[in-house]
Amino acid sequence: MKTFVRLTVAAAVLAFAGAAHAEKIIKLHHLNPDDPFDNPTGAMATVFKALVESSTNGAVKVQTYPGGQLGKDADVVKQIRRNIVQSGIFSSGGFAGTYPMIGVLDVPFAFPNISVTYDVFDGPFGQKLSADIEKKTELKVIGLTDSGGFFHFTDSKRPIKTPDDLKGLKIRTMGLETHKRLVSALGGQPVAVAWAEIYTALQTGVADGQMNPIPVIAFGKLNEVQKYLTLSGHLLTPYVWVISKEFYDGLTDQEKATVHMAAKSAVVAGRGVARAIEASDRGIAALAKTMEVYSPTPAERAKFREQALPPVRQFIESEYGAEGKEMLEAFLKAIEDAQKK
């Protein structure tokens, strides 16, 4: 009888261990708070988790790690390639070390409006870019989305209404060389500062200004250390959302379909939250209470574009060679095609 009990207990333990081992967990990294109403990646992470877990009856679980808990973007990408972390939503600056050609997308004033960006990144060009990323990084791309909308300039010194107003200003950028070139082309002095240090850098004068979308400026409380906001809309820099190929290949076909469905829905949610924040009293309206807001005229925007575009485009074509030039031309063609719809 004792032998039978021992065997029964051992079988139960082995069965439990097997079930625990079989459990599939996605550790999901992103740099912002997990509040779905506060920022785009918070919304994306929340929607993705809910849809994956409910649609797989808990067979695949999602653990979110917001606020850079797992480290900086560049470090977490390496962990995903080794399947230590399974997924991450990355800024282009954080992803550039793994896929440098993401800088091809940094063409100043390339998009006429936000809806065109959806067509470009959700359409054939987005598929082309994703395939190239997967080929060169061995990471599976499950989403391309904006980081909160168009980038705008803020600063603490003076209103920026013309390129001349940027002269001499120290403007915080990500580590992307294309962003640095853009600021330099307009007469500013680029200062590369990590996101976690941006508030202090602006507060202490390490940088006079910076460029980010409205929701990022708002949830980062940058209005507390910046006085002027210029709605320049000069860039749209995408988030790149990837998943470990090793982990992805271990999913069933149905689970893979669920991951893609959940990611696609989450991207839509992230965009919706960004647009809602921009338009609500948590966006421009809130910033305008403590900042002087200026929207350039079409003629003024044209001057910014004329000064910034040639040197940045020249850098892109020389830096990334024939392959980069081909990707750039495909990007600009996709924008042109989207405008015709």
Query: Model confidence over 164-216: pLDDT tens digits?
Result: 999 999 999 998 999 999 999 999 999 999 888 999 999 999 999 999 999 99
Question: Is the sign of the CA dihedral 252, 256, 259, 265 positive or negative?
Answer: negative
Q: Which amino acid is present at 77? A: V
Q: What percentage of the chain carries pLDDT values higher than 90?
A: 89
Task: Name the pLDDT band for 158 (thresholds 50, 70, 90).
Answer: very high
**How much is the pTM?**
0.89
3-state secondary structure the chain: CHHHHHHHHHHHHHHHHHHHHHCEEEEEECCCCCCCCCCHHHHHHHHHHHHHHHHCCCCEEEEEECCCCCCCHHHHHHHHHCCCCCEEEECHHHHCCCCHHHHHHCCCCCCCCHHHHHHHHHCHHHHHHHHHHHHHHCEEEEEEEECCCCEEEEECCCCCCCHHHHCCCEEEECCCHHHHHHHHHCCCEEEECCHHHHHHHHHHCCCCEEEECHHHHHHCCHHHCCCEEEEEEEECCEEEEEEEHHHHHCCCHHHHHHHHHHHHHHHHHHHHHHHHHHHCCCCHHHHCCCCEEECCCHHHHHHHHHHHHHHHHHHHHHHHHHHHHHHHHHHHHHHHHHHCC
pLDDT at 138: 92
Give the span between the Cα atoms of 108 and 328, in whole angstroms: 12
- CATH class of the domain whose range is 23-147+237-279: alpha beta
Task: Name the pLDDT band for 22 (thresholds 50, 70, 90).
Answer: low
For the chain, the domains span 23-147+237-279, 151-236+283-339
Give the span between the Cα atoms of 280 and 266, in whole angstroms: 21
Which of 235, 333, 270 is CA-nearest to residue 142? 270
Q: Do domains 23-147+237-279 and 151-236+283-339 have the same CATH topology?
A: yes
**What angle in degrees, to the nearest 10, is found between the helix axes of 298-339 and 114-122?**
30
The residue that leads in pLDDT, 339 or 341, is: 339
CB neighbour list of residue 171: distance below 8 Å, 6 or more residues apart? 153, 155, 183, 188, 189, 190, 191, 207, 208, 209, 210, 211
Q: How many CB atoms within 10 Å of residue 253?
A: 7
Task: Name the pLDDT band for 12 (thresholds 50, 70, 90).
Answer: very low
In this predicted structure, the answer to whether residue 3 has a pLDDT above a threshold of 70 is: no
CB neighbour list of residue 191: distance below 8 Å, 6 or more residues apart? 170, 171, 172, 173, 201, 206, 207
In this predicted structure, the answer to whether residue 118 has a pLDDT above a threshold of 60 is: yes
**What angle in degrees, to the nearest 10, is found between the helix axes of 298-339 and 177-185?**
140
Give the span between the Cα atoms of 11 and 16, in whole angstroms: 9
Q: How many CB atoms within 10 Å of residue 81?
A: 17
In contact, 227 and 156? CB cutoff 8 Å: yes
Q: What is the mean pLDDT of residues 28-57?
A: 96
The fold of 151-236+283-339 is D-Maltodextrin-Binding Protein; domain 2 (3.40.190)
